[in-house]
Amino acid sequence: MTKANLSEFLAVSDEVIAALDASQPVVALESTIISHGMPYPQNVETALSVEDKVREHGAVPATIAILNGSLYAGLSKQQIESIGKTGQDAIKVSRRDIPFILQHKNSIGSTTVAATMIIAAMAGIRVFATGGIGGVHRGAETSMDISADLSELGKTNVAVVCAGAKSILDIGLTREYLETQGVPVIGYQTDVWPAFYTRRTGFDVDYRLDTPEDVASVINNKMALDLQGGTVICVPVPADFAMDETVMDAAINQALKDMLARGITGKDTTPFLLEKIAEITGGNSLQTNIQLVLNNAKIASQIAKSLVAKSLEPSG
């Protein structure tokens, strides 16, 4: 498919088009966090708060989803509300699913990290803020359960600002997989890989960068050299909202036992585990989830602004 006929499938909001045409910063946002990451109405409230956070820091939000047979970059409040009310009945969409969901004209498809990256790249958006990326699941040496997010990061040119990989995953194997895919992992003001609810793990990042300008320079260098693939920018959850590592480990282990007992596998694992962990922690993990997404949106907006500023600098 060429860029010329993408318009048959791609619906970009007027606000996002105007921003891109005027070389203003735009930040992509995923919709799976609305449908599968949180219960209603917190999911809708959080999605709108994240969009407000992006605007507050000088960028334009582009929440991404597949609705009524079109790939949307930039949703209305009514569309976000519809996804939130649909909840886990929305179709969770990754790369393999996109052509099929387009055929279902009345469907709601919420986009994972992988699908959001793809649609963002189609629309010309270079920065994407999310909660945590998918990764290699615990026990993957026998189940082979590895998120398509990781292979997408190896091929699609979008920078992903996240709080690391979700704590429910095998962080060590996720790091190894990203290295194999040639994906650089940047620690934003940190030397260690964060794990979603907690600020630290036993794993290092590839490089530490401390300012949006430095991150933007690296992204620009990568693009200028035509090095295909994304960049992971890991931002630890703000300290005031971080969970205790011992408490989280216990909650995750209990949730994993319950998941195995119920025989839950595949794309249903993450929403089940997040919901179960929220239940075990008395809702504390949900509040942490909300705060880390808001923080990631702020940092992503600052990086997007720096990217635009650098692109407007006179050459030579």
Which of 51, 53, 92, 166 is flagged as catalytic?
166
- Looking at residue 110, the DSSP 8-state letter turns out to be E
Residue 279: partners with Cβ closer than 8 Å, 6 or more residues away: none
Note if 15 is an active site residue: no
As given in the structure block, the two tokens for residue 102 are 């387009």
Note if 298 is an active site residue: no
As given in the structure block, the two tokens for residue 136 are 């290699």
Which of 30, 51, 152, 275 is flagged as catalytic?
30
Q: What type of residue is 29?
A: L
**Which helix (H) or strand (E) segment is 230 a member of?**
none
Distance CA 169, CA 236 (A): 16
Count Cβ neighbours within 10 Å for each residue of 110-144 and write b for 16 or more, e otherwise. bbbbbbbbbbbbbbebbbbbbbbbbbbbbebeeee
CB-facing half-sphere around the CA of 103: CA atoms within 13 A: 3
Distance CA 131, CA 126 (A): 17
Place of tokens 């040639």: 182
Catalytic residues: 30, 166
